[in-house]
Chain A
Amino acid sequence: MSETATGRGWAAQDVRRELHSELLEINMGPQHPATHGVLRLLVRTDGEIVHGVTAHIGYLHRCAEKIAEGCDWRQWMVYTDRFDYLAPINMNFGYAVAVERMLGVQVPERAEHIRVICAELQRIASHLIAIGTFGLDMGAWTPLLYCFREREEILNILERLSGGRMLYNYFDIGGLRFDAYDGFERDVLAFVNIMEQKIPEYDTLLSYNKIFIERTADVGVIDLATCLAYGCTGPVLRGAGVPFDCRKDDPYSIYDRFEFDIPYGEGEQGTVGDCWDRYMVRMREMYESCRIIRQAVDALPGGPVKAEDLKKLVKVPQGSLYTRTESSKGEIGFHIFADGGSKPFRTKVRSPSFSNLHVIEKVGPGMMLSDLVATVGSLDIVLGEIDR
Chain B
Amino acid sequence: MQVMTDLFARIFGDGLSPVGLLVAGGLTMALIMALVMASCAIVFTWAERKVAGFIQSRYGPMRVGRWHGVLQPVADMVKILGKEDIVPRDADKPLFLLAPFVIFIGSLMAWAAIPFAPGFIAADLDLGLFYIFAVSSAATIGILMAGWASNNKWSLYGAARGAAQAVSYEIPLALACIPVVMITGSLNMNDIVVAQQGGIWRWHFLHDPFLFVAFLLYFVASIAEVNRGPFDLPETESELVAGYHTEYTGMRFAFFFLAEYANLFLVSCVATAVFLGGWQPLFGPVFLPGLVFVIKAVLLVLLQMWLRWTLPRLRVDQLMHVCWKVMVPLALVCVLGAGIWMLATGQAG
Contact = CB atoms under 8 A, between A and B. Distances in A.
A137 B238 CA distance: 5
Interface in A308-344: none
Chain B contact residues: over half helix, strand or loop, or mixed?
Answer: loop
B153 interface: yes
B229 to A, nearest CB: 6
A57 interface: no
A141 B229 CA distance: 10
B29 to A, nearest CB: 38
A321 B302 CA distance: 60
Nearest to A25: B153
B314 A214 contact: yes
A141 B315 contact: no
Contact of A209 (B57, B153, B312, B316): B312
A368 interface: yes
Interface residues of A, number: 30
Interface string A138-172: 11111001100100000000000000000000000
Interface string B236-271: 111101000000000000000000000000000000
Contacts of A368: 315-317
Given A24-B153, A26-B154, A34-B239, A142 B310 contact: yes
Interface string A101-143: 0000000000000000000000000000000000111111110
A6 interface: no
- Chain A binding surface, main DSSP class: helix
Interface of A: 24, 26, 32-34, 47-48, 135-142, 145-146, 149, 205-206, 209, 211-212, 214-215, 368-371, 373
B244 to A, nearest CB: 15
A34 B238 contact: yes
B243 to A, nearest CB: 11
A33 B55 contact: no
A141 B305 CA distance: 12
B157 interface: yes
B318 interface: yes
Nearest to A205: B310
B255 to A, nearest CB: 23
Nearest to B232: A139
A272 B172 CA distance: 37
Contact of B315 (A47, A149, A215): A215
A139 B55 contact: no
A48 B165 CA distance: 14
A139 B312 contact: yes
24 contacts: A26-B154, A33-B238, A34-B238, A34-B239, A48-B316, A136-B238, A139-B230, A139-B238, A139-B311, A139-B313, A140-B310, A141-B309, A145-B58, A205-B310, A211-B314, A215-B313, A215-B315, A368-B317, A369-B157, A370-B236, A370-B315, A370-B316, A373-B238, A373-B239
B52 interface: yes
A210 B103 CA distance: 33
Contact of B52 (A26, A32, A141): A141
Contacts of B310: 140, 142, 205
A211 B230 contact: yes
Interface string B157-168: 100100000000
B236 A142 contact: no
Which 5 A/B pairs are nearest by Cβ-Cβ distance?
Answer: A139-B313, A145-B56, A138-B312, A140-B312, A34-B238
Contacts of A209: 311-312
